[in-house]
Amino acid sequence: MYCFDWLYCRKKAKFRSIYPFSSQFVCIFPALIIDNLYKTTLSGENAISITIGFLITFIILCVLAWQLSHYLQFTTDLKKSLVTTTALPNVGNLGLPVTLFALGEAGLERAIVYLIAWNIVVLMTVPAFLQSGGFRSSIQFMLKLPLTWAVTFGICLRVFNVPLPLNLDKGLNLLANAAIPVALLMLGIQIASHRLAFNLYEVGASCLRLLGGAVIAFLVGKLLGLEDLDLKVLVLQSSMPTAITAFLMVHEFGGDASQTARVVVVSTLLAFITLPGVLLALQTFI
């Protein structure tokens, strides 16, 4: 997600004033991924379960949003926008801090797995869906992003148990610790950079993302037999507001960019109401 912001900002100079910290993301967020993969105590079974849970939730949300937009006879651009805003939760800038604060380091490890799966699936499918460019162009696009190589490097360090020389692990950890404070700062910048509009479409699309994502993730998690922390992370990450990446992708590849931008802002503000409810439900029923 962050790498897409950086790549887009380099291509579109007008976004540099909106995202002044995007170049720092090239180092900070890949460092967070590598550091967590290098030190994680999460089992492969847990990681696979969360990944499968995310994938099924993502597919159901895409189909649901497309069918709903077809029933409401939206234009093609608005259909694309609704699918994108529904299927792309903000699992980075907001998802990681909220998960860390609510569920601790063990929850953060699982949220990182969700984030990695999110990036891989979204970058492989959404550009092709929006521009009809095909699967091959999406793969080529994904291979250009620093996050892809961060995931590969982190997995290699973990699998082969490679010790980092010259205290590089400490430097990596310092960069990783900076990621979440910067994410919160970026979230504030993103909210302040877009006009607020509480129209029926924006509120409806936001509720579909916030509440629909939570309910579907819960049902999927129960179906897969997820329990305790795995289920909590799946539901919490799936109940996040629409990511700024949705706007960037729609603006770049096709769709209604203005409506998408408003949904990003409205869903983020409404999340301050819905997320406490989701957290209360998680603590009560799981």
pLDDT tens-digit series, residues 56-79: 999 999 999 999 999 999 999 999
Q: At what angle do helices 228-238 and 257-285 cross, to 10 degrees?
A: 150
Mean pLDDT confidence for 100-106:
91
Question: What's the rounded Cα separation, in Å, for the pair 188 and 244?
Answer: 12
| Gyration radius (Cα) of the chain, Å | 18
Of 179 and 26, more confident: 179
The number of domains in the chain is 1
* Residue 54 pLDDT level (bands cut at 50, 70, 90): very high
- Least Cα distance to 112 among 61, 179, 24, 163 occurs for 179
Residue 118 above 70 pLDDT?
yes
pTM above 0.85, yes or no: no
Q: How many residues does the chain have?
A: 286
Give the model's confidence band at 137: pLDDT under 50 very low, under 70 low, under 90 confident, else very high: low
CATH code at position 139:
1.20.1530.20
Of 154, 124, 151, 126, the C-alpha closest to 138 is 124
| Lowest mean pLDDT, pick from 41-45, 75-79, 172-176, 239-243 | 172-176
Q: Is the pLDDT at 102 greater than 90, yes or no?
A: yes
Q: Is the pLDDT of residue 16 over 80?
A: no
pLDDT in tens, 166-216: 767 777 777 766 666 765 676 566 566 656 667 899 999 999 999 999 999
Q: At what angle do helices 2-11 and 146-160 cross, to 10 degrees?
A: 150
Tell me the pLDDT of the chain averaged across its residues. Answer: 79
Beta-bridged to residue 242, according to DSSP, are: 89
Mean pLDDT, residues 33-38 = 62
For residues 128 and 152, what is the distance between their CA atoms, to the nearest angstrom? 23
b/e for 49-70, b at 16 or more Cβ within 10 A?
bbbebbebbbebbbebbbebbe
Domain that holds residue 105: 2-285
